[in-house]
C-alpha cells in the first residue's frame, strides 16, 4: 500500500497544531519542557522562521515534523554556540539585528510512533536542508541529542561519540541517521541545555525521589542530575553533539 506524503509548514496548517503536539511530545522526557530559555524566544522563532517549521503528512495525518533556525556562524569550531539554547538565542538576536544568516541549524525532528522506521526523520531533515538552500544558506549543522546516550549517562559525550560499529558508523541510531546523510561530527555542545529547579520540582519532572545530595541517573537524561538539598537546588546540564551536514 502506497502512503501519500505531503510537506507543509506548521504555520500554514494551524488546524494540525494539537495533533502534532500530541504526536511528538512523548518523544522527549518531561524535564526537557522546563528549560527556561525556549519560552523566552519560541514565539519570536515562530514568527521569524515560519518557513523552517514543517510537518510531514501521511494520507493527511501528521507523521513527522521538524524545525530549525538560521543564524550567523563564521564556520569555525570556536564560533559554534554552546548548543541548543544558545543557538536559539543567537538566531533571534541575529534576525533582530538584521544580520544576514550564514548557517542553518536543525533544532528538533520527530516521527509519530505509528510511522517509525520508514525513513521519515531523514525526509524531514532533507526538506529543511532544501529550504535552507533556497534561502541562500550553505552551512547546515545540528546540536543533536543522541538517542542512546541516556543509557550511558556517566560517559562523557566526547567518549560516547567515538563509539562505532564494525561498519564504522556510530552505535547511536540518531547519529547514524545524520551520518548516512553525509554529516560528520564536529565537537561536543557542552552546555546545550541547562535546566535548574528546586529539588521538589525535579522530583516531579523525573518522577523519582532525591533523598540526599549528590549526582543522580534520571530516566532519559543524557547526563547526571546534580542535587544539593542544603540549597534546595537541582541542576541538569546536558551535552549534545554538533554535527555538520554541509
Contact 184, 226 (CB under 8 A): no
In this predicted structure, the answer to whether residue 24 has a pLDDT above a threshold of 60 is yes
Kindly report which listed range (64-78, 114-128, 151-165) carries the lowest average pLDDT score: 114-128
Contact by Cβ (8 Å): 240, 189: yes
170-183 mean pLDDT: 96
Domains and CATH numbers, the chain: 5-244 (3.40.630.30)
CA distance linking residue 222 with residue 15, whole number of Å: 34
* pLDDT score for 27: 75
Supply the pTM of this predicted model. Answer: 0.92
- Dump pLDDT digits (tens) for 194-222: 999 999 999 999 999 999 999 999 999 99
Sequence-separated (6 or more) residues with CB below 8 Å from residue 239: 83, 156, 157, 188, 189, 190, 191, 192, 222, 223
The strand pair at 140-144 and 103-111 is best described as: parallel
Q: d(Cα 43, Cα 54) in Å, to the nearest integer?
A: 16
Tens of pLDDT, residue by residue over 29-39, are 999 999 999 99
Helices within 63-197 (DSSP H only) = 84-96, 120-134, 157-160, 173-180
Phi, psi of 193 (to 5 degrees): -140, 135
Among residues 122, 137, 118, which one has the least CA distance to residue 59? 118
Amino acid at each position: 500500500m502506497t502512503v501519500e506524503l505531503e510537506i507543509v509548514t506548521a504555520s500554514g496548517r494551524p488546524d494540525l497544531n494539537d495533533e502534532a503536539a500530541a504526536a511528538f511530545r512523548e518523544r522527549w522526557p518531561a524535564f526537557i519542557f522546563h528549560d527556561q530559555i525556549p519560552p523566552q524566544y519560541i514565539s519570536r522563532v515562530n514568527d521569524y522562521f515560519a518557513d523552517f517549521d514543517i510537518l510531514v503528512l501521511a494520507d493527511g495525518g501528521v507523521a513527522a515534523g521538524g524545525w530549525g533556525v538560521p543564524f550567523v556562524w563564521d564556520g569555525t569550531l570556536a564560533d559554534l554556540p554552546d548548543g541548543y539554547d544558545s543557538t536559539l538565542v543567537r538566531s533571534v538576536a541575529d534576525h533582530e539585528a538584521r544580520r544576514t544568516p550564514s548557517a542553518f541549524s536543525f533544532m528538533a525532528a520527530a516521527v509519530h510512533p505509528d510511522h517509525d522506521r520508514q525513513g521519515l526523520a531523514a525526509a524531514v531533515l532533507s526538506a529543511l536542508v532544501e529550504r535552507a538552500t533556497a534561502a541562500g544558506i550553505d552551512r547546515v549543522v545540528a546540536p543533536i541529542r543522541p538517542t542512546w546516550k541516556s543509557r550511558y549517562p556517566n560517559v562523557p559525550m566526547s567518549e560516547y561519540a567515538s563509539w562505532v560499529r564494525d561498519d564504522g558508523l556510530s552505535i547511536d541510531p540518531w547519529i547514524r541517521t545524520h551520518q548516512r546523510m553525509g554529516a560528520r561530527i564536529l565537537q561536543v555542545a557542552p552546555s546545550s541545555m541547562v535546566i535548574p529547579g528546586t529539588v521538589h520540582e525535579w522530583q516531579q519532572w523525573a518522577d523519582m525521589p532525591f533523598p540526599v545530595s549528590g549526582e543522580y541517573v534520571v530516566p532519559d537524561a543524557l547526563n547526571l542530575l546534580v542535587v544539593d538539598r542544603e540549597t534546595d537546588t537541582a541542576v541538569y546540564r546536558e551535552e549534545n553533539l554538533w554535527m555538520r551536514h554541509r
